[in-house]
Structure 1
Amino acid sequence: MAGPDRREGSLTPRPHAGTLALARGGAFSPPAVLPDLRGWAGRALAVEVAQRRLFPWIAVAFGCGILLFFQAEEPSLPAPLAGLALSAALAWGLRKRPVALAVFVGIAAIHAGFLAGGLRARSVAAPVLARVTIAPLTGFVESVEDRAEGRRILVRVARIEGLAPEATPFTVRVSAKNAGKLAPGLFIEAKARLLPPPQPAWPGGYDFGRDARFRRIGAVGSLLGPAKVVEPPAGPPWTLVASARIDAARNALTERIASAIGGPAGGVGAALVTGKRGLIGEATNDVLRAAGIYHIVSISGLHMVLAAGTFFWLVRAILALIPAIALLWPVKKIAALAAMVGAAAYCVFTGADVATERALVMTLVMFGAVLADRPALSIRNLSIAAILVLAREPEALLGPSFQMSFGAVAALTAAAPLLSRMGESLAGDGASATPLGRAARWVARHGLGLFATTLVASLATAPFAAYHFQTVNPYGLIGNALALPLVSVVVMPAAVLGVLAYPFGLDRPVWQVMGYAVNHVLDVSAWVGGIGGATLVVPAPSLGAFALASAALLLMTLPASSLRWLAVLPLGAGLAAAAPARYDAFVDREGAGAAVRGRSGALVLVGRPSSFVTEQWLRADGDSRRADDPSLREGSRCDRGGCIVEAAGRRPVAFVQDMAAFEEDCRRASVILTRLKAPARCAAGLVLDRDVLAAWGATALRFVEGNAVEILSVRKGREVIPLSGAAAAPVSPDMRSRPQSARPVPEQDLPDDEVSSGEPD
């Protein structure tokens, strides 16, 4: 048997024959004209194989297959299934050739990811409402969430009057201002106004419609009047009964915690335990976002690790007090098993949302490694968790929650050796130090550890925050460093103890202790958020820059060798491409309004789009103004027939809301935007009317050289067309001076309950 290699005084495993084969040549070898690079790459790959660091790239390949699935127009299942079988067979047949084995395992993982996406899409396929519908509906209440403006209710539909069974959505989400005593599990009848799930407000924006499709939500809207509880035609399925009982228990505990703590801290404390965030006021949400710690109110990795860690510590400490058990039984493994059971129960009770399930998988893998006498936190375990999560919910790969949580954990795991060495250097020789010196070193070591881990996680998640939310919180490092110790040491242990004391009715003092800590967290958040520049709105980076930043993060965290230096290439390219080419106009998917870049360089609002859509446009442009800012209306000339904005290159852009305005605007405007049907004879260079927007969806425009316009739409992608026949003259004083008797364009319909905060889980 080959012994250890003791070169340079180190004790490292000697690579086996497959490792040497990879190091000496094969498909991974650099050209011979670069001998130094060839040797460096060979040695680095030998380290990767010896430390089994090729395995995490299987998860990356699996994710690439999922991305390919979501890019496919009409994906089918037989093709990826055949590709998976063929590549797996080739990998098995060539298993003695390391390079070929690695290549075909990666190809098999790509096909497996594509297949997982197809299977998931087929399993959740359900009808989606095609148009706005006002009709009575009946169904079982699946969940209820109290909110400041009313209740948000998820209804598993039995019937919607006027819709055929094959066109009836599986579930609908509705808001109700007067929902009475509706509770999960009841069968109700009510009149509702329902809309199809909204598409993105701009190409590249948050796609609620996609998320709703994978949650089998086929419509959103509101109840018109009170709901009546009636007798169901048949009993509910057991899955609905179980979920309804869990949701009812969550609501009861949420109300108990909120009433015991009181004030804004009550809503935050309840959200930390049950995951119900409806009682948190918008002002409190803004304070938490500004401080960069909004993630603490979403049940995800932080909460799962702290809850499971509390179970692990309590069980291990109790068992250690009993000598007969401590000496004869594997106390650590028993505690790990108890933590796994407690974490699973915690996940089920908090609603088993996507982020919570993902955190549960990571936690189970971590404690499973303890049971198998393996390192609990490693890149390999993280890769296993990623594969399991994506196999169950491939759509999670596209969301910020998955990207930010796994990115942060990967960065922390990769930086763990460096952070450990920093802690050891600060510890020094504890035996020779005075008690005061040891205490000072302990505080310095743990303080530096908290600061360093927060910095690493913040840097790792910054690209995802900029891409998905167009915000950066430069003082989030301070907010997390000051708030997380309270959450870790007081809030989460109190949450576990409170849940255990709740059945006995002894929980109120525990919640009050937790509320005291939560109040201090809110005070810290208010202080950090009050610092100038606590929240910076940045333009949405391009997809290419985001992809390069993601590749750089993978190259920095997955390799164990000097291959990490390759991350400099995509990182540099991503920074070079970080400044986006901003859009010159955003057009609502229904033509209810638009935002056009005026002569001042700022967006000018015309029409009446919803406030949610307007804020999405402003964020994408890096504009920190709110939707109700009066300056948004400056720079346009309006009458009852519509508005004119002089855009880039002195191109008049007309927003038309009356048929009589088409005659002049079609002659003098470069671009016509309207929710009406434009006349066929309209001579404007580009006309986006009702029919075009119905086919394209939300659209963004960018004027390019040569009197052309680049069009990007949600449904049709990218296209560049010339503005032939368009007037390119400045806005004349008489334009928009006609008195019209037109009715203003109504505000776009977007239900309140579907306005996403856009915060990561």
Structure 2
Amino acid sequence: MRAALQEMLLAQRGGLITWVPVCLGIGIGTYFAQSTEPDFAQMVMVWGLAFGLLAASRLITPAYAPCAVAIALVCAGGGVAQWRTVAVAEPVLGFRYYGPIQGRVVNIDRSASDAPRLTLDQVVLSRMSPARTPARVRVSVHGDQYFTDYQPGETLILTGHLSPPSGPAEPGGFDFQRHSWFLGLGAVGYTRTPVLRLHAADQSSLGLQVFAVRMRLSHFVQKAIAGDAGAFAAAIMTGDRSAMRQDTLDDLRAANLAHLLAISGLHMGLLTGFIFAVMRYGLALSATISLRFQTKKIAAIGALIVGAFYLALSGGNVATERAFIMVAVMLVAVLLDRRALTLRAVAIAAIIVLLWQPEALMGPGFQMSFSATAALVAVFGALRKFDLSHWPKWLRGTFAVFMSSFVAGLATAPFAAAHFNQIAHFGLVANLLSVPLMGVLVMPAAVLAICLAPFGLSGIGFALMGWGLRWILWVAQTVSGWDGSVGHVVAPGGGVVALLALGLLWCILWRGRARLIGVAPVIIAFWLWGQATRPLLLVADNAALIGVIGPQGRALSKGSGSSFVAQIWLENDGAPVPQQEAANRSGYTRDGRIVRANIGDWQILQVTGKTALAALDGCGGADVLISNQSDVTGRPCIVFDINRLRQTGALAFDLTEMGDLQLTTAQGVAGNRPWNANADASTQPEIVLKNP
């Protein structure tokens, strides 16, 4: 058995680099899953173990040496994640602020409610020292604005509301505080008052200069192509989605075409591939050049430069970074006369992204991007064993498009469902009708428009690009309108996505029959997902909304307000409906500003407003009182007022088999980490209240 094990481990030689990002990812994921931040002594032990195992790997049997290196990489992954957490640390607002705000524009996008959203740095807040002032804040601009032409680098002044980044909408949900921490956002908010320009644009830094070029190009494209097609064109050329309407985004997601918006492998590959082909065949037209120089390598260098410019222009999200690294590895392989497209290239891209931004591992962009790429490389690598040369050329091209759309859609579907709670049933059809056009018309037309712009003829390229994008938008709108186009799934429990990813990676990366072992964790992950249950009652962290499971689904305590939280709850239930419809369901007893809900033998009372709370006698017969006001009155029940909820975060209530009330707090699950330092460190993840 020992000999068989050694033979199996030695068979992995030659492909061990593909396991490096897997081991780093395990360490990074383990770090983020902790409920407390590792202290200095613990991190010294982790790094000491990593270096010790690396040294020991040279002294043990070659078959087992990679196992020691793997454990060292797991330790290194946790260490890198902790270093990154400390490196990006900035002040976080610790209270709700209303007053003047001054800052420099460093990003412009659009909120979920279609409002312009500004990210500001060099922030100045009233009566707040620079040491306590957040480095960046993000403000949504509501109301009628006379000034809407925001420019990168200009300093704005406004009066607005700011608050700390909110915690998860429910215990175990998406942690916006952690997400904001790594974006450098110390506060988020909104304004309904006019936004004024204090100073003209300051574009002294290279980053702001690139941002300014990006926005000028975006505006140029939107003027050349009207409507949603122009916003689409700006998104794929510059990464600026600020003009994309929410309805259009919903149609693209429902048709599984939202990936066309992200500047990812498809766009980077099409652009650099087009440049590579044009340069190579263009140079081949000259006999002198083609006989004296290696035109293939010259074309590779040209495509690499264009790809780097595209990366800088796009803003550099995870998918774009991964795409550029993949393309760079491929083009460098051409320069070195090596095979370009392999799982090693995917692994190198993943290693660089994880070392540069370890927090990216937890986001859907990283997971979907790398799952699609790894699956495509693995499947098309396996297809090389089959001789398709006797097939007609058109049939081979059609088969390649079909397989790429099918494999990428299948690989990303579980992760998309886990993060967005929906599955596009007709995504394959939409992709087959759209992706080929993106390659043969849209991206070449974009390059043509840029090349013709100095001569004032960019309209030719933009006209062709507009035709292609209008077709894609029509496909998205049509497919999303079909009956049953979108299926909804319940949110998976903790650990399901990690188990699923590790099983799939084992199936792809392991060499030999033992790769079938990876099927087991995949099956277990889907089984656990199928057994997932939802909390019987949820309470928002501002006490303004509660939602209880009833015979018709989750019933909400009100039909408007706290819409973002309501949407998340309903989507995680796998049954999204309009908030007003959920509010009309049975499950509550309402009496003005007092809402009663029952869970088994337990009664929960929600009271909103000072007057209603002051008029309440004791707890009104309830076991648990929820209030959006500060309550210092001693009451004969468990009270969660606004002050306590700011410490505990959102609440989830369930019943145990004995009829006890099980209470779970969002901050208790999230733990005591740097990004939620304002929360109560003593908050317990779960509290069980005994049924009397």
Q: 1:187 Cα deviation (Å)?
A: 2.5
AA partner of residue 161 (structure 1) = S
Q: 1:470 Cα deviation (Å)?
A: 0.8
Q: Say if 2:334 is the partner of 1:370.
A: yes
**Aligned pair in 2 of structure 1 residues 93, 655: CA closer, same or farther (>3 Å)?**
closer
- Residue aligning to 1:386: 350
AA partner of residue 708 (structure 1) = D
Partner residue of 1:74 out of 37, 49, 52: 37
- Residue aligning to 1:741: none
CA distance in structure 1 between the aligned counterparts of 2:422 and 2:505, rounded to whole angstroms: 22
CA distance in structure 2 between the aligned counterparts of 1:304 and 1:586, rounded to whole angstroms: 43
AA partner of residue 532 (structure 1) = D
- Residue aligning to 1:255: 219
- Residue aligning to 2:518: 567
1:82-105 CA-to-partner distances (Å, cap 9, x unmatched) read 543554354345425214421221
Identity of counterpart residues, as a percentage?
33
CA distance in structure 2 between the aligned counterparts of 1:336 and 1:81, rounded to whole angstroms: 44
1:708-749 CA-to-partner distances (Å, cap 9, x unmatched) read 233332211231403434xxxxxxxxxxxxxxxxxxxxxxxx
SS at match of 1:401: helix
AA partner of residue 56 (structure 1) = T
Partner residue of 1:267 out of 231, 234, 238: 231
Q: 1:112 Cα deviation (Å)?
A: 1.7
CA distance in structure 2 between the aligned counterparts of 1:703 and 1:303, rounded to whole angstroms: 50
Partner residue of 1:191 out of 159, 164, 185: 159
Q: Say if 2:583 is the partner of 1:620.
A: no
Q: Say if 2:262 is the partner of 1:298.
A: yes
CA distance in structure 2 between the aligned counterparts of 1:99 and 1:680, rounded to whole angstroms: 68
Check conservation: 2:272, 2:306, Cα contact below 8 A. yes
Q: 1:689 Cα deviation (Å)?
A: 2.9
Check conservation: 1:157, 1:172, Cα contact below 8 A. no
**Aligned pair in 2 of structure 1 residues 76, 681: CA closer, same or farther (>3 Å)?**
closer
- Per the normalisation by structure 1, the TM-score is 0.82
Root mean square deviation of aligned Cα: 2.5
Q: 1:472 Cα deviation (Å)?
A: 0.9
Q: Say if 2:524 is the partner of 1:524.
A: no
Q: Say if 2:563 is the partner of 1:611.
A: yes
CA distance in structure 1 between the aligned counterparts of 2:652 and 2:310, rounded to whole angstroms: 43
Q: Say if 2:136 is the partner of 1:171.
A: yes
CA distance in structure 2 between the aligned counterparts of 1:631 and 1:444, rounded to whole angstroms: 53
Q: Say if 2:547 is the partner of 1:595.
A: yes
Equivalent positions of 1:81-92 (< 5 A) are 83-92=46-55
- Residue aligning to 2:673: none
**Aligned pair in 2 of structure 1 residues 528, 188: CA closer, same or farther (>3 Å)?**
closer
Answer with 691-700 or 530-539: which moved more: 691-700
Equivalent positions of 1:180-579 (< 5 A) are 180-231=148-199, 238-239=204-205, 242-421=206-385, 424-425=387-388, 427-428=389-390, 441-579=392-530
Answer with 502-511 or 74-83: which moved more: 74-83
CA distance in structure 1 between the aligned counterparts of 2:213 and 2:579, rounded to whole angstroms: 38
1:139-194 CA-to-partner distances (Å, cap 9, x unmatched) read 32223347895532221124211111111011111123523443112223332321
**Aligned pair in 2 of structure 1 residues 138, 699: CA closer, same or farther (>3 Å)?**
same
Check conservation: 2:254, 2:424, Cα contact below 8 A. yes
CA distance in structure 1 between the aligned counterparts of 2:250 and 2:6, rounded to whole angstroms: 51
CA distance in structure 1 between the aligned counterparts of 2:517 and 2:128, rounded to whole angstroms: 57
What residue ranges of structure 2 are gaps of 5+ in the alignment?
670-684
**Aligned pair in 2 of structure 1 residues 572, 158: CA closer, same or farther (>3 Å)?**
closer
CA distance in structure 1 between the aligned counterparts of 2:326 and 2:169, rounded to whole angstroms: 33
- Per the normalisation by structure 2, the TM-score is 0.90
Check conservation: 2:539, 2:651, Cα contact below 8 A. yes
- Residue aligning to 1:754: none
Answer with 360-369 or 574-583: which moved more: 360-369
What residue ranges of structure 1 are gaps of 5+ in the alignment?
1-23, 30-38, 429-437, 726-761
CA distance in structure 2 between the aligned counterparts of 1:711 and 1:339, rounded to whole angstroms: 57
Q: 1:487 Cα deviation (Å)?
A: 0.8
Q: 1:409 Cα deviation (Å)?
A: 0.9
AA partner of residue 675 (structure 1) = N
**Aligned pair in 2 of structure 1 residues 75, 181: CA closer, same or farther (>3 Å)?**
same
Check conservation: 2:232, 2:244, Cα contact below 8 A. yes
AA partner of residue 200 (structure 1) = P
CA distance in structure 2 between the aligned counterparts of 1:130 and 1:710, rounded to whole angstroms: 29
AA partner of residue 75 (structure 1) = P
Q: 1:621 Cα deviation (Å)?
A: 0.6
Equivalent positions of 1:39-54 (< 5 A) are 39=4, 44-49=8-13, 52-54=14-16
SS at match of 1:676: coil
Check conservation: 2:9, 2:64, Cα contact below 8 A. no
1:407-455 CA-to-partner distances (Å, cap 9, x unmatched) read 1111111112333345x34x42xxxxxxxxx6xx323322222222222
SS at match of 1:625: coil
Answer with 332-341 or 391-400: which moved more: 332-341
**Aligned pair in 2 of structure 1 residues 81, 339: CA closer, same or farther (>3 Å)?**
farther
SS at match of 1:126: coil
Q: Say if 2:691 is the partner of 1:724.
A: yes
1:621-667 CA-to-partner distances (Å, cap 9, x unmatched) read 111212243654543221223112344x3643322222256437552
SS at match of 2:453: helix
- Residue aligning to 2:665: 713
Task: Give the paired residue count.
Answer: 666
SS at match of 1:165: coil
AA partner of residue 122 (structure 1) = V
- Residue aligning to 1:673: 626
Q: Say if 2:547 is the partner of 1:585.
A: no
